[in-house]
Structure 1
């Protein structure tokens, strides 16, 4: 089997050499075989593993999640059920963040629409009415 050096792996996978070393340190990648001169050498499947890690990160998964998947696979277990559960939790979290961001957007738009009094001067606790002004209360009809 052909072995590859870290620079070649980095170029083919599109990741910095420092990233590969870090992934080794946190055990996402197995420890490489070293030459007599101390150079790291890798078997070709390491590129597939790096590509999996990169793809999982683009889905918003943490390195901790990714490590769990890789550990399962390394032990010969299919990680797909665990991956599905993790993706579902990530999606729920993302949807909550989107809802929070939409709420912030509404507040920003409202603050931008408010006009500052032309003669306003900061004093005491009043710094900027666009931020400190309370939203208008809606009247409740009875």
Structure 2
């Protein structure tokens, strides 16, 4: 007889969200394939500076891409364009706070919705998007402006 709290590897394997892992892997592959030919276009869209406007531009593009695809592959695709610490911080704000409009924008969103469904709570993608649109612009802008203020204060 097993002790309470004993870890059973087969049970852990069954509990893993394999469908979401496959989805995320597919997104990484798509982003990698798209980024190669679009490198110059992406660089122009992201800008290059560290002023407040430049950081907001970077965050805006990253937020849109994270919502359209997913935050993890978006971060990896855009990280080379955010070499300076301020740009990296703005990118992190965008890909972590921004993807709250489309349910697939973040694996956390997908896991959250899955757990809600398991417990009998259905949240529509439309409602999720509408409520996300209410908070996302202010949250991303506030985070990025905090980064810009920290840079200006140095």
TM score, norm. by length of structure 1: 0.25
Q: Name whichever structure is richer in strand by fraction.
A: 1
Q: Which has the larger radius of gyration?
A: 1
Bigger relative contact order, structure 1 or 2 (CA pairs below 8 A, ≥6 apart): 2
